[in-house]
Structure 1
Amino acid sequence: MRSAVALYRLLDVLPVFAGDDRISTSFTLVPGSDFGADALTAVGASGARIIPWDEARSRPFDLVLVASPKGDLRLLHGHRVLLPHGAGFSKTIRGEGSPGSASGLDPEYLRSAEGSEAALYALAHPEQVDRLRESGSSDAERAVVVGDPTLERLLASRPLRDHYRAALGTGARQLVALTSTWGPRSLLRTRPGLPAELAAVLPYDNHQLALIVHPNERARLGTFELTEHLAPALDAGLVLVGSHEEWAALLVAADALITDHGSVALYYAAVNERPVIAASDGGDEVIEGSPMARMLATVPRLGSAADVLRTLDAYRPGAAQEAARAAFAEQGGVLERLKELLYPLLRLPAPPLPTEPRTLPVRTSTARTPVAFAVRLDLASPDRVRVDRFPAHTGPPGHHLAVEHGAAGERAARSAGLLYRRPLLSGAGPGSVPGPLDSAWTAGGWTAHALGRYPGCLAAAAVLPSGVGVLRVRDQERLLAVRVEPYAEGGRVVRADPAVALSAVHFWVAKRQEPPASFVCLLGHRGFRVTVTAATADEESRPF
């Protein structure tokens, strides 16, 4: 292996040998890559065994699996099998190898020393074999179309879509994924501010943003610097997913994709019939006529971030899928085909048990949750108010600033028009017991305290464990109980954040008007019924 990308591709293939105690697997780092250090880190994280390069080239192996043709592979002794480490062979690396050749199919790297040719080149589409043949490489004689093991995992994992969305905290929002390849023409190099710009125009309660960054780009910057560069978007709720497996699970979960010229978009289109739009054209890094070039020529192009919803609506079903079909010809049974090809090279009979792709794991997101919102309100009719919440400081100010006390900082709390507090979460876990002098605010007590401490705040609310918001308006004795009903949609129940209903009520209290006893809070296309009553003595005295 030469990079983390190559390692991950190999890990997707190794289930071919699962359960076979005759097989011993080890990894080595082929020198010469700028991304070798991150590859070693990735191997360590996987728990795999690694041997030094000098040891690897001095001993024989029965089988050598590689996911890149680059480096001194001729020095490794054993039947060599080449696996592509991307989809479609659509990208050329400027200043590397033969000009204009696709990375992974470049004859300069495929050309081997006499007697050290690859035993097998496993590809995903017959067109890739044709391109090998056109390059004059002798590897074309040993190329076999088997399919793509990574795509197999994506396809096998589609039933887990709801689980991936739950782990990301998506809920019923539209999950918009962005993907950036590496190099000077990548999305993050050409449009570094796009994630934060999108967070400023996509209402938080209707949309979730997530970002896939190529492992090479992560290696170039380092995780710390990357997250610092992305800090405005991360603070606004952007999910930065991991490079191994998590990116693929995100593709299964996503409702739409914004892409550059990286091959991730081809995987997405092969799994989903959902919108794809292009935010970068890749310039001279894109091979003319390649699957990715076809996709970029077909899908809508995103100009300003403010046009994102209009651009997504402009996508026409099937536009991206045609390009994906040019990258992947075989779907289903990839690992079984590889088993049939690899075990003869090992001179071993293959185990009789079927080999299935492993579903992608469900991993809980560690995304930051915004705790201060610029809230924009629009009265659609006397009893219907539209609420759009945007993470504070991502765009223009709203009608009021709604801040979660106890989660946001003091500066945000002092600027709030609406302060709300949620129930405290115990860190001790199940079975914990209160301390000797345990205490908790009551809804009435905390709302009075908050308005006393923050004189610029118009209203304060306690969100009870039941989801009822107990709201106190400055200079009013009566407390209000605000309830938001769930929304029924296609056999599912969608629940709104109670804080949204409190912001909706703020529309009237800011004008010193009595809010309606019942009205509809509009979040995107969904209408949630909200009722407002006088808080009962029990609700006012309820600890939270």
Structure 2
Amino acid sequence: MHRLLDVLPVFAGDERIDRAFTLVPGSDFGVDALAAVERAGARTTPWAEARRRAHDLVLMASPKGELALLRGRRVLLPHGAGFGKSVEGEGTPGTPSGLDPAFLVPDGDALLSLHALAHPSQVARLAALSPHAAARAAVVGDPTLERVLASRGRRNDYRAALGTGARHLIALASTWGPESLLRRRPALLADLAARLPYDTYQLALILHPNERSRLGELNLAERLAPALDAGMFLAGPFEEWAAVLIACDAVITDHGSAALYAAALGRPVISAYDGGGELVPGSPMADLLDRSPFLADAGGLDAALGAQRPGAVRAPADGAFAERGRALERLRAELYRLLDVPPPRRQVVPRLLPEPATPPRGVPASFAVRARVDGRTVTVERLPVGTDAPAHHLAAEAGRAPERHAMSAALLYRRVPRGPDRPAAGHGAAWTVAGWTEETLADHPGCRTAGVVLSPDHCVTRGRRGPLLSVRIEPLRSGGRVVRTDPAAVLSAVHTWLGQGEVGGGGGVPPGSAYEMTCVVGGLPFAVRLRPASAAEAAREC
């Protein structure tokens, strides 16, 4: 259904065209397809009515089902990329899904007036299976790839919406079915989330709509809970997945075609497909996986990223997509030819992908923190609580972290909300920074440091043995960019330093003086300046 929405610009502005959607009975994923149409604000025609009416044009995203009952010129649009997968139990065994004559020429009669394909090699593959079906094929390119390529300039917008910052965004792409990444290697997502430092890497999952529909949103969220709780982003099935591909720095994939779109963008691809009968030999997807390093387990990610060969993904992408930059124009010409009317004179333009609308879950509330002190430099790595890696301390956000984490944390902190967070009238009470840090240390005997994040560049913290300290974080300026880190990570560095008695010999800063240190977070060095907190800082409400 989403493929149909991607081609709507070919009819944009034409008052002669009336658009309606119908669902072919028998699909296991029909409920979600109808929901997608409803979210788009489109009109739906019941199947019985769609069968009764004659149509000038019938656009289809799949050749499966009783489509021959719809009267009108039938057009099959590009679906997926590369025709690299066969589906067991459907049609001709071993035949690429989407090119199977069992669906394209049922009972010897051609189903289609036009089979729109993305590359000349696909026409050749179809001709080898059925010359009768290939006679109705034409190369138009891939309309979905048009949107992706046209939206490349919004990469920074997508990364900002995802909260990526300077981290490396790794996308995991899972198709549907028994050989998909989610089914064959379900532990990989949680293993990566548990092993990768939060401030260095961000994970995002691109999941095929059929798999989302099979599981249901609640069941899916529960299955993915460990990775989601550790900060993984779950992309929506329409548009968001493509925005994530543009935003990401590398893709870990099974044999699903989403990785070919990443290859067309030049993104490094890492294979997590461990074999099976669904991958079609000789297809662009098979070629892409052959050229990509294999990820055997979560611990091998750095090695797999380092094994990338520049330009290795170019040839498979070139073998899957033709007519780049012209796909919508080519498709519009073919469709208006079938309608036998001239197309509008206006140029057809791909619609840019919007920013991801699904809100990220935000920063996890608890971390196991590894820390290393080298002179005035403190390096911190934050990992999910429960990781098997040795940690220096547990850091937890008060009010969000589970109580058992808060009671065990050596560092407790809170964040001052941005914007107004209290009603304009009525009763109210608020802690001051000084009051909250004192109360927190008194109520949590195991806590050694309490801190308050006042802004992206400013914190106030207090250790058990010292006074209230102001912490100023200098953004990193490099290559025309201003990069900020999570202030809570800096609080972990300050906690580590104070605990070793590095400052003033007793966990504090001498009155009237300042102390400078470097905090390395996510491999980036941030200059940090400590000094005794002012009366105004101590009195700030939090």
Instruction: Quote the Cα distance in structure 1 between the aligned partners of 2:527 and 2:111.
Output: 69
Does 2:180 align with 1:191? no
Following TM superposition, by how much is the alpha carbon of 1:41 offset from its aligned partner in structure 2, in angstroms? 2.0
**Structure 2 vs 1, CA of residues 217 and 377 (structure 1 numbering), >3 Å: closer, same or farther?**
same
Following TM superposition, by how much is the alpha carbon of 1:116 offset from its aligned partner in structure 2, in angstroms? 5.2
Tell me whether 15-24 or 149-158 shows the greater mean CA deviation.
Answer: 15-24
Secondary structure at 2:202's aligned position in 1? strand
Aligned residue in 2 for 1:449: 439
**Structure 2 vs 1, CA of residues 397 and 441 (structure 1 numbering), >3 Å: closer, same or farther?**
farther
Q: How does 1:319-358 map to 2 (within 5 A)?
A: 319-358=312-351
Tell me whether 302-311 or 433-442 shows the greater mean CA deviation.
Answer: 433-442
Tell me whether 466-475 or 189-198 shows the greater mean CA deviation.
Answer: 466-475
Q: Give the root-mean-square deviation of aligned CA atoms.
A: 1.7
Following TM superposition, by how much is the alpha carbon of 1:461 offset from its aligned partner in structure 2, in angstroms? 1.0
Q: How does 1:117-128 map to 2 (within 5 A)?
A: 117-128=111-122
Does 2:102 align with 1:108? yes
Q: How does 1:32-43 map to 2 (within 5 A)?
A: 32-43=26-37
Tell me whether 363-372 or 433-442 shows the greater mean CA deviation.
Answer: 433-442
Work out whether residues 74 and 112 of structure 1, in 8 Å CA contact, stay in contact via their aligned partners in 2.
Answer: no
Following TM superposition, by how much is the alpha carbon of 1:437 offset from its aligned partner in structure 2, in angstroms? 4.2
Tell me whether 311-320 or 508-517 shows the greater mean CA deviation.
Answer: 508-517
User: Which portions of structure 1, spanning 4 or more consecutive aligned residues, are displaced by more than 6 angstroms?
Assistant: none
Deviation per residue, 1:313-348 (Å, 9 max, x gap): 111111122111110021012111111111121122
Instruction: Quote the Cα distance in structure 2 between the aligned partners of 1:114 and 1:60.
Output: 23
Aligned residue in 1 for 2:132: 138
Following TM superposition, by how much is the alpha carbon of 1:494 offset from its aligned partner in structure 2, in angstroms? 0.5
Aligned residue in 2 for 1:493: 482
How many residues are aligned here?
A: 532
Work out whether residues 457 and 474 of structure 2, in 8 Å CA contact, stay in contact via their aligned partners in 1.
Answer: no
Does 2:39 align with 1:45? yes
Instruction: Quote the Cα distance in structure 2 between the aligned partners of 1:473 and 1:169.
Output: 30
Instruction: Quote the Cα distance in structure 1 between the aligned partners of 2:255 and 2:378.
Output: 41
Aligned residue in 1 for 2:524: 526
Deviation per residue, 1:100-135 (Å, 9 max, x gap): 100000111111456654111111110000011100
Does 2:491 align with 1:502? yes
Residue type of the partner of 1:141? A
Percent of aligned pairs sharing the same letter = 56
Secondary structure at 1:45's aligned position in 2? helix
Work out whether residues 22 and 46 of structure 2, in 8 Å CA contact, stay in contact via their aligned partners in 1.
Answer: yes
Work out whether residues 236 and 358 of structure 2, in 8 Å CA contact, stay in contact via their aligned partners in 1.
Answer: no
Work out whether residues 197 and 394 of structure 1, in 8 Å CA contact, stay in contact via their aligned partners in 2.
Answer: no
Aligned residue in 2 for 1:129: 123
Aligned residue in 1 for 2:62: 68
Aligned residue in 1 for 2:299: 306
Following TM superposition, by how much is the alpha carbon of 1:170 offset from its aligned partner in structure 2, in angstroms? 0.9
Following TM superposition, by how much is the alpha carbon of 1:47 offset from its aligned partner in structure 2, in angstroms? 1.6
Alignment equivalent of 2:8, drawn from 3, 8, 14:
14
Instruction: Quote the Cα distance in structure 2 between the aligned partners of 1:36 and 1:137.
Output: 32
Instruction: Quote the Cα distance in structure 2 between the aligned partners of 1:270 and 1:258.
Output: 15
Aligned residue in 2 for 1:263: 257
Instruction: Quote the Cα distance in structure 1 between the aligned partners of 2:361 and 2:15.
Output: 43
Deviation per residue, 1:419-463 (Å, 9 max, x gap): 1111135666xxx86434443322111100100111110111122
Q: How does 1:149-168 map to 2 (within 5 A)?
A: 149-168=143-162
Residue type of the partner of 1:505? V
Aligned residue in 1 for 2:355: 362
Instruction: Quote the Cα distance in structure 2 between the aligned partners of 1:235 and 1:105.
Output: 41
Instruction: Quote the Cα distance in structure 1 between the aligned partners of 2:388 and 2:152.
Output: 35
Deviation per residue, 1:355-395 (Å, 9 max, x gap): 1110011134422220111110122x312221101122244
Structure 1: gaps spanning 5 or more residues = 1-6
Does 2:378 align with 1:388? no
Residue type of the partner of 2:540? R
Does 2:463 align with 1:470? no
Work out whether residues 167 and 522 of structure 2, in 8 Å CA contact, stay in contact via their aligned partners in 1.
Answer: no
Tell me whether 414-423 or 521-530 shows the greater mean CA deviation.
Answer: 521-530
Residue type of the partner of 1:491? G
Secondary structure at 2:261's aligned position in 1? helix
Deviation per residue, 1:280-336 (Å, 9 max, x gap): 144211010100100111100001201112211111111122111110021012111
Structure 2: gaps spanning 5 or more residues = 510-514
Secondary structure at 1:396's aligned position in 2? coil
Work out whether residues 74 and 116 of structure 1, in 8 Å CA contact, stay in contact via their aligned partners in 2.
Answer: no
What TM-score do you get using the length of structure 1 for normalisation? 0.94
Does 2:525 align with 1:535? no
Instruction: Quote the Cα distance in structure 1 between the aligned partners of 2:2 and 2:426.
Output: 52
Secondary structure at 1:129's aligned position in 2? helix
Instruction: Quote the Cα distance in structure 2 between the aligned partners of 1:346 and 1:177.
Output: 41
Aligned residue in 2 for 1:3: none
Secondary structure at 1:60's aligned position in 2? coil
**Structure 2 vs 1, CA of residues 232 and 394 (structure 1 numbering), >3 Å: closer, same or farther?**
farther
Work out whether residues 167 and 365 of structure 1, in 8 Å CA contact, stay in contact via their aligned partners in 2.
Answer: no
Residue type of the partner of 2:270? I
Instruction: Quote the Cα distance in structure 1 between the aligned partners of 2:50 and 2:406.
Output: 60
Residue type of the partner of 1:444? A
Tell me whether 37-46 or 489-498 shows the greater mean CA deviation.
Answer: 37-46
Deviation per residue, 1:27-70 (Å, 9 max, x gap): 11112222222212222222211112222122211111111111
Instruction: Quote the Cα distance in structure 2 between the aligned partners of 1:195 and 1:466.
Output: 29
Does 2:472 align with 1:483? yes
**Structure 2 vs 1, CA of residues 134 and 316 (structure 1 numbering), >3 Å: closer, same or farther?**
same
Secondary structure at 1:196's aligned position in 2? helix
Residue type of the partner of 2:468? L
Deviation per residue, 1:221-242 (Å, 9 max, x gap): 1111011100011111110010
Instruction: Quote the Cα distance in structure 2 between the aligned partners of 1:363 and 1:221.
Output: 22
Residue type of the partner of 1:86? G
